[in-house]
Structure 1
Amino acid sequence: MATTRLGLIMHGVTGRMGMNQHLIRSIVAIRDQGGVPLANGDRAMPDPILIGRNAEKMEALAKAHGIARWGTNLDEALANPGDSVFFDAGTTQMRPALLAQAIRAGKHVYCEKPIATNLNDAVEVCRLAQQAGIKHGAVQDKLFLPGLRKLDMLRRAGFFGRILSVRIEFGYWVFEGDLQPMQRPSWNYRAEDGGGIILDMVCHWRYVLDNLFGEVKSVSCLGATHIPTRWDESGKPYEATADDAAYATFELDGGDGGTIVAQVNSSWCTRVRRDDLVTFHVDGTHGSAVAGLTECRSQSRVNTPKPVWNPDVKQNLPFFEQWQDVPDTQAYDNGFKLQWEHFIRHVVENAPYRWTLPEGAKGVQLVEAALQSWKERRWVDVPGLTL
């Protein structure tokens, strides 16, 4: 068995997602397991260099996780022919320029979502990658969640019959920062810094809806900035200029001329009384299911109870107990790590890969349609994306 080294430039990994999910739980975990298994029995071993502006942070992060290489000069890193992949988890506003720089340097690119703050920039990056002939990918982590993988198994097994509707409830209360410390960075709530829940979450909903239920055809969206004042990392109040909640309805292509209706609420201003921080409720003619991050519960047509509406009598049906768990039939690895392994195989052995930059651009397209719908207070069609 041979081991192939894969030089990897990792940019923007001092942030929460970049450090925890991509560096520690993905690349470090892959290195600890001896690399990524390849089809011929060999392995691919990522050899990362951490790049960022703060040398002290870079050095400390690299030492903490046994990584030999770090630096602050991106141009120098991109000029190294021994590193063939560039990854970015920095700010969305900087991402298109960074990706373009890496592509022009001949690197394969992989990045967090959104791949840009607007569709024009997203499309330009996609075209640049296609013209350069490099391999490319965008993070679509929720497709790898155990709960959604179980939901997808039900769909592929025909459990739902004809899918009628989907309801997604996402969010939790993000502390304003005055009474309790905030648990999300302040830039999330400043539009001028690339914040906003529509930009952040609608990209996710695009690939979830497209891949699991039906291609998005149109959207009606209402955004809101419910909390007008928040407190930043230094304890100073600031004006929240970005949307912190979005209430959207999507029409999906259900096949054979049918339509699936998806209702999606995304909010950082809601207190949780549901199974998980995000729940996906699917109703079909033959069965229904509700999935969270890890769990999934189903109710088939023949096991559906018969509730009777009577507002004069206290409800005594145990609705939550009338669903059956979809069991864990396999070990579920970290979703970010799984997609990293897919991308590494794609780069090293040309394995099939479908979570590309154009798929990321579709998410940005839906963001723009949702924002247009909110601004113009109307339904907006989502045409096929031509690159």
Structure 2
Amino acid sequence: MRRLSLLALTAAAAGLSAGPVIADQHGAHLEQPDRLHGDTHVSVSAEDLLAPYYAQLEDQVDLPVAPPNTAIAPETVITRLAFGSCNHQSRSQHMWAQIAATNPELFLFIGDNNYGDQGWDGDAALTTLRQAYQTQAETPELAAFRAQVPMMITWDDHDFGFNDGGASFTYRHWSETIFETFWGASNEVKSRPGIYESRMFGTDDKVTQVIMLDTRFFRSDLATMPYTLERPPLGPYVPSEDPAKTMLGGAQWEWLEQELAKPADLRVVVSSIQVITDAHDYESWEALPLERAKLYGMLAARADSGMVLLSGDRHAGGIYSDTPEAAAGEQIWELTSSSLNYSFSSTERNTAREPDPKRLTDFISEENFGLVEIDWDARTFTTSLRGSEGEVRVTRTVSF
């Protein structure tokens, strides 16, 4: 369907006249100046205009569905939890066997689970994204893994829809439908905008809460550096103190506060982008410092429990720690793992390129996945990054 026809269709479905349609550079709002309502000027969101088109499209296409996933019982005591990010659907899928060999009770797939934005020409149907999911649906290594290891999933920009995308992505509701259909999202997740989710596992004094944040669907646009002839070597973004900007959106913030008030012994909080670091100007919570301070304060006010943060995105990984003032003096730990099969550089080069006092290890840039091993008797958890042959690259043990 041509774009002109699509806009005419959605305008007609919304009860608008057939006059000219105006879109901003992000497609965030479409305005129709010629109305059937006299001189009244009405602004209609592009998402509302597109809703009937997507309802029709959903009836006409078969959306891809992931291979079946084995279930995990709520009473399962988690002793080994694996996670990873940045998995290109068309590259080697050998890491699934390495992860499975560690026998985790649960695997967290935490973003850039495919690269469906590559080759995208801007079509509202998100054809390349659907094709990326279809490739994953037909991946034998992923099928074998899902038959053995239960999974929880959130997204990052490349499987959300476009690089560094957030709430201004006009097609985000269709992207959400594709995601939820493919990964078999719960009814709770499907009932609300965004894909954030929390689950409890274990019994007695061995309860693990896994909180999967959605740092895409609601996130405000980030502030960028002034244009220069030379591209900034460590990213284009600058921190913004604008109180109107949000990382999670109001509803997700309220939900998170409620989840953190629930009793648990250890909380695993997943953010697709890094939280603690200030060492670069790519996407991270540093870009929205008021939101990061809010997160730290909310984490500090949680019901008593241990806690570890997990993140991805960077095509490199390491172990981080900080004691931010906003966290009321608590030492916070973060393990970043990336990528499963899409490495860009070497550890030596990346470590030198991005010095960071909050990173306690080298910046592991070869393929890796993360592992959190819990010793309930000793009340410790051990974080580690494992390489493409399952070898330990970096590790730290923390009491909780």
Structure 2 length normalisation: TM-score? 0.27
More helix by share: 1
Greater RCO (CA < 8 Å, at least 6 residues apart): 1
Structure 1 length normalisation: TM-score? 0.27
More strand by share: 1
